[in-house]
Amino acid sequence: MSKVYINNHPLVQHKISILRDKNTGTNEFRSLVGEIAMLMGYEALNDLPTEKVEVETPLETCMTEVISGRKMAIVPILRAGLGMVDGILNLVPASKVGHIGLYRDEETHTPVEYYCKLPNPIEERIIVVTDPMLATGGSAIDAISQIKKHGGKKIKFMCIIAAPEGLKALEEAHPDVQIYVGHLDRQLNSDAYICPGLGDAGDRIFGTK
């Protein structure tokens, strides 16, 4: 089964609480999504490969570690996943960025694909898929299937809030993927929205409705 990491850091939980508040405006919401992505990224990337390089300090020469191979790709699921990209780019600025466009059909709640552009070659890269919300899991499952079709192998998925239903579905569909969750919420409602959740993440990040 997938490895699932549920975050319990007080800083992340504090920022998620502000996101949930319906009175939090677009500007603050967008900044917080980026900050949470960076904090979660710090944990999610703790197994990045490193290599030794020689560096001359003011005192002597030493062998010291750097991230090896600049081989990371961040792949946001449009739209809301875009809000998490800059936070992770702050950590690994050399990452390439792909995009997968999906929206949920309002009636069926199943994902509709409209865009896919991934950095080449994708096979060797560590791929971090971002989306603040894992609800039914349909969008994440579909996005990861598309990445695998293009040859992606080492895939991590990061979300800020997950529903138990979506987490279970994603683990079953893609048992090889590491899943990082900011907070595991109670359940989906009849419209497949996460409760208590934070509402529609895309609308709150971009100020649409």
Residues with catalytic roles: 104, 108, 200, 203
Q: How far is the CB of 173 from ligand PRP (least distance, A)?
A: 12
Does residue number 30 form part of the binding site for ligand PRP (CB under 6 A)? Answer: no
- Which among 103, 98, 100 has a CA at the least distance from the CA of 125? 98
Which amino acid is it at 5?
Y
Q: Which does 193 bind (CB under 5 to 8 A by kind): ligand PRP, ligand URA, none?
A: ligand URA
Within 13 Å and on the Cβ side, how many CA atoms surround 113?
14
- Which among 164, 109, 119 has a CA at the least distance from the CA of 142? 109
Q: Which does 194 bind (CB under 5 to 8 A by kind): ligand PRP, ligand URA, none?
A: ligand URA
Residues 6+ apart with CB under 8 A from 116: 98, 99, 100, 101, 146, 150
Cβ closest to ligand PRP, residue 44 vs residue 135: 135
Given 133, 140, 167, 205, the residue binding ligand URA (CB under 6 A) = 133
Is-contact 100 115, C-beta < 8 A? yes
Cβ closest to ligand PRP, residue 45 vs residue 169: 169
Does residue number 5 form part of the binding site for ligand URA (CB under 6 A)? Answer: no
Q: By the criterion CB under 6 A, which residues form the site for ligand URA?
A: 80, 133, 135, 193-194, 197, 200-202
